[in-house]
Structure formats: structure tokens, C-alpha cells
Copies of this chain bind each other. A is one copy, B any other.
Amino acid sequence: MTSVPDVIQTWQMVQPWTRDKETGTQTPGRLERTSIRMPELHPGEVLVEIAGCGVCHTDLGYFYDAVPTVSTPPLTLGHEISGRVVAGEKSWIGKEVIIPAVMPCNDCAICAAGRGNRCLNQKMPGNSLGIYGGFSSHIPVPATDLCVVKDRGDMPLEQLAVVADAVTTPYQAVTRADLQAGDRVVVVGAAGGVGTYVVQIAKALGAGTVIGIDLKQEKLERALQYGADFVIHSANKDVKEVRNEFRALCKEHGLPSNFGWKIFEVTGAKAGQEISLALLSFVGKLIWIGFSADVNEYSLSRLMAFDAEIIGTWGCLPKHYPAALQMVLDGRIQIEPFVEIRPMSTIRETFEEAHTGKLTKRIVLTPDF
């Protein structure tokens, strides 16, 4: 049995990157290694010894792009966590778990309506769970919604950290899209950290055709090995060119191009959003997963003419975690080719590499305090 230390070792975001509005002076953000007092656990809470925590674009948004965290810094970032319960509620001790990236309160009108993934009282490690986050040795969390990991064979527990967000957010999105066997799917941003899983999950759940669109040729070719039937390389092409290529591809393969497509916008970038909107057509669905502050220009009345819809999707209901995890464990979703494990002490360099777009895999940091 693991002993519980007196303190939590952690990499705190002491301050985010800031830019003075008047002078324009930029102050780099700071991540500092420190230790914090081990908190007293309340009834219903457990302490998780962290196996791994994924580095997500959301973390980078907090650190580099002035996206405010709910808890005021200093706090520890990181919300994509796997680990083992080492203290707290007795029935949980010793269990390996994935911590849902957003944990609903389970006690409000939104939760009662089955929409707990957008509960307004939700707790998210590395954002709204006090000062606690995943780039640490341990984290205290409510036990209720933890996802138990069983029979993982030789899959490392730290690798499963990506189930907490990168896999489950797409899972929720595909569920929101009401994906049916035979559906025609487009994923804009198919080669990225989240898009990769949208492609795999859509295909695994029976999509008839999955077309991946992305800027990066090399990564797109990888997508062809993991669920995509066809790909469109969109770099240096305008929206019309991409749409024409999509139509030509449909024609070549005997698919209708003008109705019934479920399009997933995963890029959170204006160019990707414009492609997604241009491909939306009759009785189609556009599922909006990526986030940007951009204002879009679109005649929403087209949705009326198309009998179509745009669905925004946020996080994932904890109740879906076991199903998503099972798909990973039985190989229907491959995560190993898309994950790289690094020691947590590389956090500063890893953030910098992720921020400058140099990574081709999602990084999971393992505690090495």
C-alpha cells in the first residue's frame, strides 16, 4: 500500500503570460516547481496518485493566450489525468482511475436534465478545482464520477490519461451527432490531437465514409491508417478549392455531396471553420468542437433552407467514460501511436514546443519529483 506524503509536489502556474494593454510589454508566464500542503479530504473525496497528465491546448490557452482560469493563479494546470487512488473513501483505495476533465455537481437543474457536461458548478482540475491540477504528484478529487480502469493488460496507465479529454471529448461529440451506421462524416482538423480520435471513433461506431481534412500532409497519411477513408490536404487552398475537391471526391466514389453529411469542426481556426460551414448542406449536421474567439460570417437562414443544424459540444459526461475507455482497451481506438510519454520535469520545454506547434504527438507528463 502506497503511503500518503505530507505534501503534494507540483508545477504551479505562478503567473500566465501577460501583455500590458497600454505599453504592449509582454511578461512571459512562469511555471514553478513547488510543494503544497496535503489537503484534508472531505467525505466523498479521494486522493489520486497521478500516473500521467496530458498537455492540452486548453492548458496552453491559459498559459499563453490570456484565457482566464476560474481559480486565480497561482494554481496547477492539467486536467487530463490518470492515476491510482491512495487515500480517502475506503472502497476506492487501490483502484486505478481516469479523472473526468469536467466533473458535474450532479445537483443542479442542468445535471438533472442530463447535460452535466456543461454543469455551471462543474469542477475541472487545473482550472476550477481550487489550486489543484494534474501536473503534480497527487490530486484530491470527488470520487463519484471517477472512471475505474480494469484489465488494461500491458497498456501503461499513464498513456490512458488521454482518455480524460482527448478521447472522451470526441466521444461526446460523436454521440451528440447521433452517429448512425453508414453515416457520411467529414472531420476538419482530422490529423490533430482531437481530430484523430473523432475519425477513429466515427469509423469504429460504424460510419460508412470518413473524409479527413487537414493542413498537414504527413499526419493526414497517418489518418488513412486510423479510420479515414479519404483525405483532403487543405494547405494553400481556399475554401472553394477545398469544396470542389470534396465534390470531386464524392463524385469519384459515387457519394452524394449535397446532403446528409455530419461535419466535425475540430480546428478552432477560422480557415477550418469556413471549410466546415462551406461543406454543410441539406439535412446535415455541423458539430463544433474547436474553440476560437473569431466571429463567423454565415447566413444562419441557410440552416432553415437546409433543415440543418450546428451543434456545439463541450467536454464529456462522466457516464460515457467507461464506453470510451473500453474502446481504447479493446483496440477500436488506438492511442499509442498518438501519445508520447515524458517526465514532468520537461514541462517548460514541452509547453513551449506544444505552443509553437512542433509536436506531432500528444505529450503525457509523468511525475518525477
Q: Which residues of B contact A297 (CB under 8 A)?
A: 295-297
Min CB–CB distance A20 → chain B (angstroms): 26
Residue among B120, B256, B301, B307 making CB contact with A290, cutoff 8 Å: B301
Instruction: Tell me, yes or no, whether A137 is within 8 Å of chain B by CB.
Output: no
Which of A148-156, A232-240, A311-319 lies at the interface? Answer: A311-319
The reply to whether the CB of A300 lies closer than 8 angstroms to some CB of chain B is: yes
Q: Is the CB of A113 within 8 A of B313?
A: no
Contact of A300 among B260, B282, B296, B304 (CB under 8 A): B296
Task: Please give me the residue from chain B that is nearest to A282 by CB atom.
Answer: B118
Q: Is A338 at the interface (CB under 8 A from chain B)?
A: no
Q: Which residues of B contact A115 (CB under 8 A)?
A: 283, 307
Determine if A23 is an interface residue (Cβ-Cβ < 8 Å).
no
Chain B residues with CB below 8 A from A315, complex form:
307
User: Are A307 and B314 in contact (CB-based, < 8 A)?
Assistant: yes
Minimum CB–CB distance from A107 to chain B (whole Å) comes to: 15
Select one of B118, B288, B300 contacting A312, CB under 8 A: B300
| In the complex, chain B residues whose CB is within 8 Å of the CB of A299 | 292-296
CA distance A309 to B300 in the complex (A): 12
Closest B residue, CB atoms, query A310: B310
CB distance from A299 to the nearest CB of B (A): 5
Query: Is the Cβ of B304 less than 8 Å from the Cβ of A289?
Result: yes
* Distance (whole angstroms) from the CB of A215 to the closest CB of chain B: 19
Given contacts A110-B259, A313-B307, A314-B304, contact A296 B294 (CB under 8 A): no
Q: Is the CB of A305 within 8 A of B312?
A: yes
Q: Please give the count of copies of this chain that the complex contains.
A: 2
Known contacts A301-B288, A312-B302, A314-B304; is-contact A260 B293 (Cβ 8 Å): no
Chain B residues whose C-beta falls within 8 Å of the C-beta of A293 in the assembled complex: 299, 301
Do A110 and B296 contact each other (CB < 8 Å), given the known contacts A118-B283, A304-B290? Answer: no
- Chain B's closest residue to A312 (CB) is B303
Shortest CB-to-CB span from A184 to chain B, Å, is 10
Query: How far, in angstroms, from A290 to B313 measured CA to CA in the complex?
Result: 25
Instruction: State the CA gap A73–B313 with chains docked (Å).
Output: 45
**A301 to nearest B CB, angstroms?**
5
Is A350 at the interface (CB under 8 A from chain B)? no
Residues of B within 8 A of A306 (CB): 118, 312, 314
Q: How far is the CB of A165 from chain B (nearest CB, A)?
A: 14
On whether the beta carbons of B291 and A118 are closer than 8 Å, the reply is no
A–B pairs, 12, beta carbons within 8 Å: A109-B259, A113-B283, A118-B283, A120-B282, A288-B303, A288-B304, A295-B297, A296-B298, A300-B312, A304-B312, A309-B310, A310-B310
* Known pairs A120-B282, A298-B300 / 12 extra A-B pairs, C-beta < 8 Å: A109-B259, A118-B283, A288-B300, A292-B299, A295-B297, A295-B299, A296-B298, A300-B312, A304-B312, A306-B312, A308-B312, A310-B310
